[in-house]
Amino acid sequence: MSLKNIILFLVACFCCTYTYNYCISDDNVNSRPMVMPEQDAKKSTEQLPCISDGQTNPIKKVYLKKEGDKYFFCVDFVENISFTPRMYLLPNGAKIILSFNEAVSAPKTKRINHSVIKGYFFEKFGESSLMFVFALKENVIFTEKLYTQNSIKIGFRVNKRKVIAIDAGHGGKDPGTKSAGGDYEKNITLVMAIELREALLKSGRYKVILTRDNDSFIPIEERKKKIDLAETDLLISLHTDSNNDRKIRGISVYTLPNLDHLTNPIEPYNTKEDADNYYKILSKSRRFSNALVGHIPNICKISNRPCRNVELKILKVNLPAVLIELGCVTNRKDNTLLHSKAFRDKTNRAILYALDDFFKKEENK
């Protein structure tokens, strides 16, 4: 494989929003044999293609093991050969430089599309070194990076992606507010929802559902059923604001109010358990709201209380939920911004970063 092909393969496999480097050498690796957890989960081992070229090939076999929800990418070496690995991990794969105590050749392998593996290869990296690269189909969480005298085992779990519901406000016979330029809210929110979906999917960290993906009228209760069926982790409802004072502009984020401010609760909340659950979800909604406002540039936020609490039907779901007013369409500057792809991209990045921050902190609680 030429150097150009190696570079193209690495770029295709490892170009991600986030890059992590983790280096393992003799000084900082745990070299004791891996102890597999004892459990009743289904176990499987699948050998992967790795063919000797008849020369000094140090690789005995390459295989993928699965135990429960954990995978192990394993490389076994021939006996009586010593090596030192340097390992670099990325969200969806790894590069390992293997330095041996004698001259070696690279085994012939082929790029495969198998199970969670996108592909892998060995390449000569000097007379007594090999470069081993493997790429996975999805971002993963690495759990173990271990080697023994005759093997390398890399443990990982496929990162379960959070499900985000994006609700494009209004639609069909319900046009919403009319902008200063004559456009309707339903069109602005639909464009924003579709672009936000693409931004989240591109990150590889989220699954996304849209409550509507065209100019159709969908009652709120039907939207909420769709959100519930998708086992959604968080809801973002997109709207645009309007105001009689055309100087008012900026983004604001809404969550539900406290129970004693609800005039028409979806449930009676007449037990302590009901109330505790409501406040638990509300607390998460407000934490995400605060994270989002923190990522939105001050010049884009409404000046007076960007985080607000209002009783809104779409937010009455059993999961964290916010409604974002993307700007005041009655203000010409906001209206111009909402029709700017650059502004929408900037807003989508703020939402993405807020989601990353929110879920990271929730997992660390």
Which of 113, 141, 158 terminates a domain? The answer is 158
- Going by pLDDT thresholds of 50, 70 and 90, the confidence category of residue 50 is low
Mean pLDDT of the chain: 84
So what's the pLDDT on residue 184?
A: 95
314 has a pLDDT exceeding 60:
yes
pLDDT in tens, 219-232: 999 999 999 999 99
So what's the pLDDT on residue 320?
A: 98
Residue 193 lies in a domain: yes
Residue 7 lies in a domain: no
Range ranked top by mean pLDDT from 52-61, 85-94, 179-188, 189-198: 189-198
Largest CA distance in the chain: 82
CATH number of the domain that 323 lies in? Answer: 3.40.630.40
Higher-confidence residue: 43 or 138?
A: 138
Residue 3 lies in a domain: no
Q: Is this model's pTM higher than 0.85 or not?
A: no
151-171 burial: b if 16+ Cβ within 10 Å, else e:
ebbbbbeeeebbbbbbbbbbb
So what's the pLDDT on residue 220?
A: 96
Which of 123, 158, 193 terminates a domain? The answer is 158
Identity of the amino acid at 139 = N
So what's the pLDDT on residue 23?
A: 33
Residue 4 lies in a domain: no
Dihedral pair phi/psi, residue 130, rounded to 5°: -125, 150
> Distance between CA 284 and CA 282 in Å, rounded?
5
Picking from 213, 197, 194, 179, the residue whose alpha carbon sits closest to that of residue 327 is 179
267 has a pLDDT exceeding 80:
no
Check: CB of residue 150 under 8 Å from CB of residue 36. no
Which of 101, 132, 158 terminates a domain? The answer is 158
Range of the domain at 264: 162-363
Domain co-membership, 125 together with 174: no
52 has a pLDDT exceeding 60:
no
Min mean pLDDT across 57-66, 161-170, 349-358 is at 57-66
Domain co-membership, 26 together with 111: yes
- Going by pLDDT thresholds of 50, 70 and 90, the confidence category of residue 27 is very low
Higher-confidence residue: 106 or 289?
A: 289
Domain co-membership, 149 together with 97: yes
Domain co-membership, 27 together with 60: yes
Check: CB of residue 131 under 8 Å from CB of residue 9. no
22 has a pLDDT exceeding 60:
no
Min mean pLDDT across 13-22, 155-164, 304-313 is at 13-22
Higher-confidence residue: 166 or 182?
A: 166
Based on the structure, what is the number of domains in the chain? Answer: 2
133 has a pLDDT exceeding 90:
yes
210 has a pLDDT exceeding 70:
yes
pLDDT in tens, 63-74: 999 988 899 999
- Going by pLDDT thresholds of 50, 70 and 90, the confidence category of residue 268 is low
Check: CB of residue 235 under 8 Å from CB of residue 167. yes
Long-range contacts from 272-278, C-beta under 8 angstroms, 24+ separation: 277/318
Check: CB of residue 238 under 8 Å from CB of residue 326. yes
Average pLDDT, stretch 108-136? 86
Residue 5 lies in a domain: no
For β-strands 151-158 and 70-77, DSSP reports them as antiparallel
Domain co-membership, 103 together with 173: no
